[in-house]
Amino acid sequence: MEARSRSAEELRRAELVEIIVETEAQTGVSGINVAGGGKEGIFVRELREDSPAAKSLSLQEGDQLLSARVFFENFKYEDALRLLQCAEPYKVSFCLKRTVPTGDLALRPGTVAGYEIKGPRAKVAKLVRVLSPVPALDGPSDPVSAS
């Protein structure tokens, strides 16, 4: 408890504090000029005052961009392909919706979703939440076909 109080006291007396800010999802990121790159990181160098980014994304000059989340709803195939190809050399994570047999889920009280996907730990993604049951398909269950 003392260490926690001491760090809270130090934080209160500090002149500057680094915080992590997550903006709301919005369309339109035009009006941002960035600088940096590599190990230095990417920073907002300039923000055009009347731009969509300045109005809706709460960005400030000097902010370091840690990650960008792009939502794929109503996305064109060509745009998704181009985006994923450009991201190839970088660290990427995905938020996925997947249909699985109920037998592949294990009840885990205390977890965010209350469930966990069964399987080898190294190959299993973190389950965020269970949406809803899916009606059984007639015939072979192949919801995704490869082209």
Confidence of residue 35 (pLDDT cuts 50, 70, 90): very high
For residues 75 and 93, what is the distance between their CA atoms, to the nearest angstrom? 18
What's residue 54's pLDDT? 79
Q: Per-residue pLDDT tens for 87-132?
A: 999 998 888 887 877 777 776 665 556 656 665 554 445 555 656 6
**Mean of pLDDT values over 39-51:** 91
- pTM of the complete model: 0.60
CA distance 36 to 63: 12
β partners of residue 46: 33
